[in-house]
Amino acid sequence: MGVMSGRIPPAASLVAELGRMVGREHARAPGAAELTDATEVAGLRGRADAVVAPATPEEVATVVAWCYEHDVALTPRGGGTGYAGGAVPDGGVVLSLRRLDRVRALDPGLWRMEAEAGVTTATVARRAREVGLRFPPDPGAAESSLLGGNLATNASGPHGFRHGPVRAWVTGLEAVLAPGELVRLGGPVRKDVAGYDLVSLLVGSEGTLGVITAAWLRLVPAPEATAALAAAFADARAGQGGVEAVLASGVVPGALEFLDAGTLAATGRDERFLLLVEVEGGEAEVRREGDEVARALAEAGALRVEARAPADLWRWRAGVSHAVASRRGGKLSEDVAVPVDRLAEAVDGVLAIGARHRLEACSWGHAGDGNLHGTFLLDPRDAGERARADAAAQELFALALALGGTVSGEHGLGVLKRGQLARQWAPAAVAAHRAIKAALDPKGLLNPQTKQP
Amino acid sequence: MGVMSGRIPPAASLVAELGRMVGREHARAPGAAELTDATEVAGLRGRADAVVAPATPEEVATVVAWCYEHDVALTPRGGGTGYAGGAVPDGGVVLSLRRLDRVRALDPGLWRMEAEAGVTTATVARRAREVGLRFPPDPGAAESSLLGGNLATNASGPHGFRHGPVRAWVTGLEAVLAPGELVRLGGPVRKDVAGYDLVSLLVGSEGTLGVITAAWLRLVPAPEATAALAAAFADARAGQGGVEAVLASGVVPGALEFLDAGTLAATGRDERFLLLVEVEGGEAEVRREGDEVARALAEAGALRVEARAPADLWRWRAGVSHAVASRRGGKLSEDVAVPVDRLAEAVDGVLAIGARHRLEACSWGHAGDGNLHGTFLLDPRDAGERARADAAAQELFALALALGGTVSGEHGLGVLKRGQLARQWAPAAVAAHRAIKAALDPKGLLNPQTKQP
């Protein structure tokens, strides 16, 4: 798809033009930081002619309209913490949502918040927590990731197991659609089936169908109590038995995570396979459910079941990705998901694929959702290792599909998984995907290299 | 939109042609029952040349492909219990999903079910219940409505307050897309963000973007206990105070319903405004939360708070619509939704609109979601009353929009609310809606009169 055509102004005049729309200090040539995301270690670096940071939804619409009229590609950018290259530009303009950083409304008694795309994930969580409420999705990098990016990727995280992904918590969107129109879809109303579900279509579309500028979020009272358990198992197969035992117990955990031996070793632990289970609710219920889960895990053959303080557990859990990456300096990590009864096959498959490509491998992730971060360790300076990791990732995608799963449970296609959807969906579904892109972005200017099926 | 063009075969040969695809006994001229849905009392009756009932997804694909090739309009039909005319045909073929009635898989330990579009809502609920699980969406008419219709309308019901609509419980769809291709989107995997969210786009699209033939459903353990309270208030304003008090208590009810004075009178009760609150969870939690809700309701000024047996309560609640309709023989009921803090204005507004049009009016519905069934009673034989009710409904839609709500919280646009979306959405959003329809149904043959914005 051609993203730059003949009529494009040169970069300098592009910056000047954008500066006239948003103020000179908010349009400039891109810095290195704006050409990458958290996939940087995979060697992914884009190119762009300008970065523009509008302050209001109306300014976003102005920028989109101008770019659309002048055939300039646009890549919306949140915190740049994605793992699929969805914010890595390929020419044209990087549209930063960072200055749209207002929590416009917080109605504690009505369990809702209206927030702009540039508010950090941590701010959304904190503002909810301060009034006794909760925004359950908890993707990583909370301090730097932005709500707009969470929405654009339909992010989730450990508590997605019980509470679903970001989409489940959005009642409305404000967005700019091509060729530059600011629209509102839904709002604070909790149910709406009047039109096609454009909210769900934009959420998770990775900036390829429109630019989300704000959202109405549904919140829920924070649970009175939580409790967490860690259960060690002999291997992935035994661990999957533990997952199924938890499900069979009838308890609905808030989160149900796993870490395999390689992942645990990277964090300095020597278990072979660990399940983390958090329960949530009223004090009495949490005690009872914690006991039930502990019993189920023990009966399923856990080598050891220990209570853990949830706050400590999540702090440790948040450092896992970094600990794994530190082992050899870099990693390629792919977020495939499989039906939960195929989890052990996927975990073992990651190791087998790594062995075939002479790469240390490991995985961890959201066991209850069958969602794993299948990871190949590498030295980022070693082009051979990088190439082998890329080949390993291709095999991992194929394995996930063979197990009835998906190439992406959380991160999206981005540019890294370009072309993978055609392996997952029938041609007619891929054609529908392309038809929708053409319908909402007829010029193909919105994040043009991302989410290509 | 022209739904019949020059090349169409006459009805008799159409029936014969369809019979060759699905067996002669499964293609015939339509009976009166297939030309209406539950909007019958509003005088809505369609027309069609044939009814066809395929037995398999492949037969559905064959029928769709043939119709698409021959420019014959298709109206998918489930149980015909809709309230918006979405299953009322306007020429061409009625495609009944009734014979796709298999529960293909039920995995109790994995909390999931795969079921075809022709399985009744009641069967889905019963099969889940038999293994200790629950499919939370609970739209009315469970014995006659079909899963396919639930999906096509993104139905919900009282327990949508805590558990969300049908969409929240679907992990994958099998569907036939134009021009007649059977595809699978998602499956038993619980998370999938690889492609655009075509599942959400098809769910709620009222058969206008494709024909859903089966779904993978997520289930959840049934709660150990439930308890219900009924709280009487002096009027809608006081009742809304009760709703907000329940939310402020920090309890998350399973359902939070209301009935106004006129509705209660139709069921033989003399309260002015009633809230019904159900809590669910472990035994201890349910006792504690029931007490907390009762206290919150009393402090908010409830005239009386009574415990009710949940099963009795829901049996009574399920008869409300019929009781209201019986009062004068018919009713026009519209399912608008508003932000929950505007509920009382909507409830009072229904009465004011009824008074202006000299129609007895009432409302009831899902208070916690701000979703009301605003209802105008009428004698279905009286054309004048029917016309006044239609005019009243237009005012109700306008009121819902003025309050920041939607013209449909549950039932969809169907044919009855044709044109209303353009009052709710900006022109650019309506254009996107039309572009998606054109992208997925370029010939405009799938339920052509329904969901027109």
pLDDT tens-digit series, residues A62-102: 999 999 999 999 999 999 999 899 999 999 999 999 999 99
- Examine the pLDDT at B4 and tell me if it is beyond 90: no
Separation of CA B159 from chain center: 13
Q: B256 to chain A, minimum CA–CA distance in Å? A: 13
B188, B201, B221 ranked by CB distance to A250: nearest: B221
A177, A182, A437 ranked by CB distance to B432: nearest: A177
A183, A436, A453 ranked by CB distance to B429: nearest: A183
Mutation for testing the B interface, residue in A106, A191, A292, A340 having most B CBs under 10 Å: A191
Task: Nearest chain A residue to B243 by CA: give it.
Answer: A110
Q: What is the pLDDT of residues B417-441, one digit of tens each?
A: 999 999 999 999 999 999 999 999 9
Would you state the pLDDT for residue A447? 98
Q: Which of A218, A108, A100 is CA-nearest to residue A167?
A: A218
Are A426 and B181 in contact (CB < 8 Å)? yes
B191, B409, B432 ranked by CB distance to A198: nearest: B432
Helix (H) or strand (E) holding A177: strand A170-177
- ipTM of the complex model: 0.96
Q: B356 to chain A, minimum CA–CA distance in Å? A: 26
Q: What is the pTM of this model?
A: 0.96
Q: A30 to chain B, minimum CA–CA distance in Å? A: 29
- Per CB-CB distance under 8 Å, the chain A contacts of B420 are 194
Are B156 and A198 in contact (CB < 8 Å)? no
Would you state the pLDDT for residue B39? 76
pLDDT band with cut points at 50, 70 and 90 for residue B44: confident
User: Is cis: bond before B137, omega within 30 of 0?
Assistant: no
- Per CB-CB distance under 8 Å, the chain A contacts of B108 are 248
Q: Which residues of chain A have pLDDT under 50?
A: 1-6
Q: B221 to chain A, minimum CA–CA distance in Å? A: 5
Q: B12 to chain A, minimum CA–CA distance in Å? A: 32
Mutation for testing the B interface, residue in A193, A246, A397 having most B CBs under 10 Å: A193
- Per CB-CB distance under 8 Å, the chain A contacts of B251 are 221
Give the span between the Cα atoms of A400 and A378, in whole angstroms.
Answer: 22
For A252, B77, B119, B407, the CA distances from B150, given in Å and listed in that order, are 25, 11, 10, 18
Instruction: Provide the pairing of β-strand A211-218 with A170-177.
Output: antiparallel
Task: Nearest chain A residue to B433 by CA: give it.
Answer: A196
Would you state the pLDDT for residue A41? 60
Would you state the pLDDT for residue B14? 95
Are A110 and B189 in contact (CB < 8 Å)? no
Are B432 and A424 in contact (CB < 8 Å)? no
- For residues B50-57, average pLDDT: 98
Are B195 and A421 in contact (CB < 8 Å)? yes
- For residues B239-265, average pLDDT: 98
- Per CB-CB distance under 8 Å, the chain A contacts of B160 are 191
Mutation for testing the A interface, residue in B154, B189, B200 having most A CBs under 10 Å: B189
Q: What is the pLDDT of residues B150-205, one digit of tens each?
A: 999 999 999 999 999 999 999 999 999 999 999 999 999 999 999 999 999 999 99
B189, B197, B436 ranked by CB distance to A404: nearest: B189
Are A195 and B426 in contact (CB < 8 Å)? no
Task: Nearest chain B residue to A155 by CA: give it.
Answer: B193
- Per CB-CB distance under 8 Å, the chain B contacts of A371 are 190-191
Would you state the pLDDT for residue A40? 59
Task: Nearest chain A residue to B168 by CA: give it.
Answer: A168
Q: What is the pLDDT of residues B271-285, one digit of tens each?
A: 999 999 999 999 999
- Per CB-CB distance under 8 Å, the chain B contacts of A177 are 428-429, 432
Would you state the pLDDT for residue A44? 84
Would you state the pLDDT for residue B5? 46
A209, A282, A341 ranked by CB distance to B288: nearest: A282
A182, A411, A432 ranked by CB distance to B177: nearest: A432
- Residue A114 β-bridge partners: A105, A216
Instruction: Provide the pairing of β-strand A50-52 with A93-96.
Output: parallel
Contacts of A154 (CB under 8 A, 6+ apart): A165, A166, A167, A203, A204, A412, B193, B197
pLDDT band with cut points at 50, 70 and 90 for residue B41: low
Would you state the pLDDT for residue B12? 82
A244, A337, A429 ranked by CB distance to B109: nearest: A244
A10 phi and psi angles, rounded to 5 deg: -65, 160
Task: Nearest chain A residue to B420 by CA: give it.
Answer: A194
- Examine the pLDDT at B8 and tell me if it is beyond 80: no
The share of chain B scoring above pLDDT 90, in percent, equals 93
